[in-house]
Structure 1
């Protein structure tokens, strides 16, 4: 079970690095090549969205079927384990949301950059005419 969360955390870290790379200023030639490379990689990386959605469903199902430990019958160790599982679930929800939001952010940055390039080319053609 922990492997999927490690994979998701690595994906979030890579998406954050890509978003940072896209927002840093760079020469036009380098920026256009980076954007084109990332645009090619975005298509297979779309698989992270359903993966994160499945993980959210798994967290929801486990939350609905989790044994509650709120009465005085529970020992301190059981109460600590219950609270730890709640904190892990919250952390994992944030991780899933971050994966989806960062993917969307990188996708939109690439799309905006391509639109800017098209507008610059159209402006250049109009100036040449």
Structure 2
């Protein structure tokens, strides 16, 4: 199943957490085909940079892209959907972009459980904890 993946889940992968391992297993078993947007890529780089510095961030993001596991799409292709999702929901613009990209690609968005999302009703949002 092709899914647009949120930053939080990618960070779990990079930190080697249990959720990250679960995600990687689903990808390696061919059950998930992850897609990330260029905005998510920027956010991932920023989050890693804050924890480990810019060189480590660039190194890890390069490894992520070179892994061949992730399809990269341009969030601007879904800008109308992003505005619609953001305007109608109290979410970060990045979360809105993941949900909107999934809508535009006619696939699901995959997140780790976050308080901002757990009470919202989106027909195209899945949580790794439930997979």
Instruction: Report the TM-score, using the length of structure 1 for normalisation.
Output: 0.26
Higher strand share: 2
Higher helix share: 1
Which structure is richer in relative contact order (CA contacts within 8 A, separation 6 or more)?
1
